[in-house]
Amino acid sequence: MNIRKLHTDEHPPIDLLVLADPSESLVEEYLHRGECFVAESDQKIIGVYVLLPTRPETVELVNIAVIEPMQNQGIGKRLVIHAMQTAKSRGFKTMEVGTGNSSIGQLALYQKCGFRMTGIDSNFFVKHYAEEIFENGIQCRDMVRLAKEF
């Protein structure tokens, strides 16, 4: 598997990006302001992440996804580690990430990669998404904010 920056003349893998964020308009906005990286295997895109600078020395991992047949094989963790190395090499001191209260696997992944919880954005998903989101039998209402210092 090779992880590389998406070239400016390439189409971003929207089908994959909307797995992480069902709002295509928010995804388009992140892509416009951030940097998109893709993981490839046999010339096929199997994973993606987007880094978005938010404040001086702070970058947010706004979108990370792995194609469904290849989930739970360690690729997501490799993408998070690659994202942290990329951000560090560019001089960022803090990486932030936000995920739903119902995103149990994602909360596990980020904490296994060293992120700590820093806050809750209450009702974020109720306010900003037209459709109700359910995962693991739990309604996704709040965004759990996590951060890691380098």
* CA-angle at 35, arms to 102 and 108, nearest 5°: 25
- We find the least distance from the C-beta atom of residue 8 to ligand ACO, in angstroms, to be 22
Q: How far is the C-alpha of 3 from the C-alpha of 124, rounded, in Å?
A: 31
In the complex with ligand ACO, the residue whose CB is nearer, 133 or 150, is 133
- We find the least distance from the C-beta atom of residue 17 to ligand ACO, in angstroms, to be 9
In the complex with ligand ACO, the residue whose CB is nearer, 77 or 82, is 77
- CA dihedral 14→17→22→25, nearest 10 degrees, is -60
- We find the least distance from the C-beta atom of residue 49 to ligand ACO, in angstroms, to be 8
- The footprint of ligand ACO (CB under 6 A) covers 19-20, 61-66, 71-77, 97, 99, 104-106, 108-109, 112
- We find the least distance from the C-beta atom of residue 113 to ligand ACO, in angstroms, to be 8
In the complex with ligand ACO, the residue whose CB is nearer, 9 or 137, is 137
In the complex with ligand ACO, the residue whose CB is nearer, 135 or 150, is 135
Q: How far is the C-alpha of 19 from the C-alpha of 128, rounded, in Å?
A: 17
Encode 6-41: b = buried (16+ Cβ within 10 Å), e = exposed: beeeeebbeebbebbbeeeebbeebbeebbbbbbee
- We find the least distance from the C-beta atom of residue 130 to ligand ACO, in angstroms, to be 18
Cβ count within 10 A of residue 135: 14
In the complex with ligand ACO, the residue whose CB is nearer, 19 or 150, is 19
Pick from 16, 15, 12, 19: nearest CA to 34 = 12
Nearest residue to ligand ACO on Cβ basis: 76
